Amino acid sequence: MIPNQQNIKSEIKLDASLDFIFETVELGVLIENLNRQVEFANTLFCKLFQISLTPQELKSSSFLDNASVFSLNFEDPIRFEKSIIETPQSQSIVRNEKWKLQNGKTVLRDYIPIFNGNDLTGHIWLYREYKPIAKIQPTENFGSIIEKALNQLPSEIAIFNVHQQFVYANKAYVNSNEKRLWAIGKTLVQYFSYANLPVQTALYRVENINNCIVQKKAISWEELNISLAKNKQYYLRTCYPVFGEDGQVESVIEQSIDISQQRKLELELKAATEHFFSTLDSVNDIVIQTDGELKLQFINKAWENISGQRLEVYQGKSIFDVLSITRYELYGKIFAILSGEAKEKTGLLLLKGKDGKEKQLQYNLQSSFNVDTNKQGILATLTDITKQQLQETQLLELVKREKELNELKTAFVNMVSHELRTPLTVISSSAEILDLMLMAGKGHDEVSIYTKQIIDEVEKMTAFMQDLLMVSKIEAGKIEMNPKEIDVVNFLSKIINNGFNPWKDGRKTELIVKRNPKNVAIDDSMLQHTIQNLLQNAFKYSSGKDNVKVRVAFSNSHYTISIIDDGIGIPANEIEKLFTSFFRATNTGNISGTGIGLIVAKYFTEQHKGFISVKSRINKGSIFTIKLPYKQ
């Protein structure tokens, strides 16, 4: 209901202090009573509309009377006059009405009706110059340092109001002045359609701006732009909320930073890292890296290749789980490295290989800086030296063998020269004596002693030659086994009776048979050669002593033949050297021999899957035993 203007007395009373306040605000203030008389106008009001009267002079004048003159300030005076009559009729607040002035400026007007209880008592008009944030719209002559600075920044900067309309955009965001002017007050989607840019991108930005407003916090996201030249440009975009005094978001600043270079470097680093790790996977050495807590961070494929253990097994494990060194030793070495006392530590360790065989690895421990944890960890490299070690052992073996061969050669030359020189000397001196005796006309009986000596020595040399021949045949692998079933006891008796019962010096050979004799399959010539050699030795090295014994014993799986004498024996420290070529014990004195017999005996026994052994005590005697299985 519109109150009757005549009957209502003005209730508006402004005291001096209110006057003062209205003078300090940056508003043009005009207060009317119900009769539309000016109750109050401040200086800014007069200034805003270039009124020649002072605020005091204006007071009490009829505003409606003045309105026709006053309206001339406005671009559309008629509309203005109409509005100041019609606006109060609504009796409600009208805010932010935009009025363009003749001088090009724009003013915003608020109308506030004054009520005393339910009764309307007056009108307040507030005018303020319209200075939208868009006032900082970029124009060529806009001199603001900030604006210039913002325009020179390579990063895109824009300000949006809560309706997500552009309030400001710098050059990087919208590059042409024309487009920028157009964009102000428009939404991102509108601008993107106008500028022919992908609307999808605008929608995503809008969503983030909205999130920033709703969540009242900065929101960041990454945007990938692919240019026409197919270059990938990565941007980190962030929306920052700008809060008003009421704590609500007033506007949003959106900023973008070109992180393409950083991205490129990241990708390069990633590629380099991947390349590094794949290179590490192709090396033969095991490479292990730990973090500061000595937890495994990386093991290369070589670990799988050598140990056969899958790498997944070691997830979350520590270096102590992979290096088979005692904790004590490993701790010591790691501590020395991490404390800077030592640059590196090395050592050897054993690792069960995937073929089940033990591998020998040489390890090297060094410190390695871990960028992720910012701590020093351990870098361990392990080299499989099993082959190398084997080669070294083989090489050492070869050198040793070479040395042995040399020694053997010397021993052989010594032995041969001795074994041949003695009979040759005997033969030569016997022949000289024979010659003299024959010249002196001596008869057969007198010379026969020398002819026999010559025959004996020739026989010795022949036997020696045969032994040598046997060894060369053995070495050439030219001796074949021809087993046939024989009666062992009968076989031994025959050998004994053929030259050993009695021996040349009259001593005898006793045959002792233990348990039940069995027939066995053997190569009789090989075994005969072996037994004969052992018997010859027994007699040869026990001259002047008791008879020689041959004992044969039959047990369930095998049988043994032992040749027992009580002769000179063999020094204890030389027993292990028996059965090597041309070896002769140091106590043999002038008992002749070649050091060949036992090698042949050993070889023949082994051909029968048997085993030859010796028990001997110096000056007490020796027992040579061959142990042979029934089953070959």
- Smallest gap from Cβ 466 to ligand ADP, in A, equals 13
Residue type, 486: I
Closest to ligand ADP by CB, 430 vs 562, is 562
Are 299 and 312 within 8 A, CB to CB?
Answer: no
Closest CA to 320 of 340, 344, 290: 290
Q: Name which of 235 and 539 has its Cβ closer to ligand ADP.
A: 539
Identity of the residue, 205 or 540, whose beta carbon is nearer to ligand ADP in the bound complex: 540
Cα 33 from Cα 487, distance rounded (Å): 155
Q: Is-contact 244 250, C-beta < 8 A? A: yes
Q: For helices 77-86 and 63-70, what crossing angle results, to 10°? A: 160
CB of 527 to ligand ADP, least distance (A): 16
**Terminal-to-terminal C-alpha distance of the chain:** 136
Residue 483 CB, nearest approach to ligand ADP (Å):
24
As measured in angstroms, the least distance from the Cβ of 310 to ligand ADP is: 57
Return the number of the residue (158 or 526) whose C-beta is nearest ligand ADP.
526
Q: Cβ 350 to ligand ADP, closest distance in Å?
A: 41
Which residue type is seen at 373?
T
Start-end of H helices in 484-583 = 488-497, 524-540
Binding residues (CB under 6 A) for ligand ADP: these are 533, 537-538, 541, 565, 567-570, 578, 583-585, 588, 593-598, 622
Shortest approach of ligand ADP to residue 393 CB, angstroms?
Answer: 29
Q: At its nearest, how many Å lie between ligand ADP and the CB of residue 574?
A: 8
Residue number, 121 or 532, with CB nearest to ligand ADP: 532
In contact, 97 and 86? CB cutoff 8 Å: no
Query: Which residues fall within 8 angstroms of residue 368, CB to CB, at 6 or more apart?
Result: 289, 376, 377, 378, 379
Q: How far apart are CA 65 and CA 38, in angstroms?
A: 10
Which CB, 71 or 562, lies closer to ligand ADP? 562
CB nearer to ligand ADP: pick between 29 and 600: 600
- Cβ 496 to ligand ADP, closest distance in Å? 16
For residues 543 and 570, the answer to whether their CB atoms sit within 8 Å is no
Smallest separation, CB 558 to ligand ADP (Å): 23
Within 8 A by CB and 6+ apart from 115, the residues are 121
Which is closer to ligand ADP, CB of 81 or CB of 574?
574
Instruction: Label residue 441 left, alpha or beta by phi (over 0 means left) and psi (-120 to 50 means alpha).
Output: left
- DSSP, res 199: H
- Phi first, then psi: give them for residue 302, nearest 5 degrees: -55, -30
Quick one: 254 or 467, whose CB is closer to ligand ADP? 467
- Alpha-carbon distance 201 to 198, whole Å? 6
- The least CB distance from residue 533 to ligand ADP, in Å, is 6
- Integer Rg of the chain from CA: 61
Residue number with the smallest Cβ distance to ligand ADP: 593
Choice between 183 and 578, CB closer to ligand ADP: 578
The Cα–Cα gap between 38 and 61 comes to 6
- DSSP states of 220-272 as a string? EEEEEEE-TT--EEEEEEEEEEEE-TTSSEEEEEEEEEE-HHHHHHHHHHHHH
CB of 584 to ligand ADP, least distance (A): 3
- Which phi and psi angles does 370 have, rounded to 5°? -100, 115
Nearer to ligand ADP, 28 or 595 (CB): 595
Q: Are the C-beta atoms of residues 348 and 362 closer than 8 Å to each other?
A: yes
Which of residues 176 and 417 has its CB atom nearest to ligand ADP in the complex? 417
Least separation in angstroms between CB 546 and ligand ADP: 13
Element (H, E) at 280: helix 260-282
